[in-house]
Structure 1
């Protein structure tokens, strides 16, 4: 998880990241944060925004090993 947030990050992103640190769900590493415990986000976009420290569309940001986006995986006929 990025240890930085962009200046335009929404307040809820910053609060959620702080909460994850306080609860030791993520811990600081040399250059980033690492999840030490499983955490279920309410949506793929929430997860992406918190992990990346910026606004994000989870359907486009999350990718499988083969490069396919989550959107392509979930809705293959709509792309």
Structure 2
């Protein structure tokens, strides 16, 4: 999943896409996970989610965390 999104971020950059992309490695989503959960992002957010899924399907865990991240961002001033 993360590799597909890295490709998307690269395409945005190469083609001058005017979109704020938060899911790039080391981007806002990764920083939020690091701050919120205390997880290392040394291998990327996808690896961190897989390591901490605790029996939940990692893809479902990603979408749950993404929803939580978006809700947190919406509530910020």
| TM-score normalised by length of structure 2 | 0.29
Larger radius of gyration, structure 1 or 2?
A: 1
Question: Which is richer in helix?
Answer: 2
Larger fraction in strand: 1
More relative contact order, 1 or 2 (CA 8 Å, 6+ apart): 1
TM-score normalised according to structure 1 size: 0.28
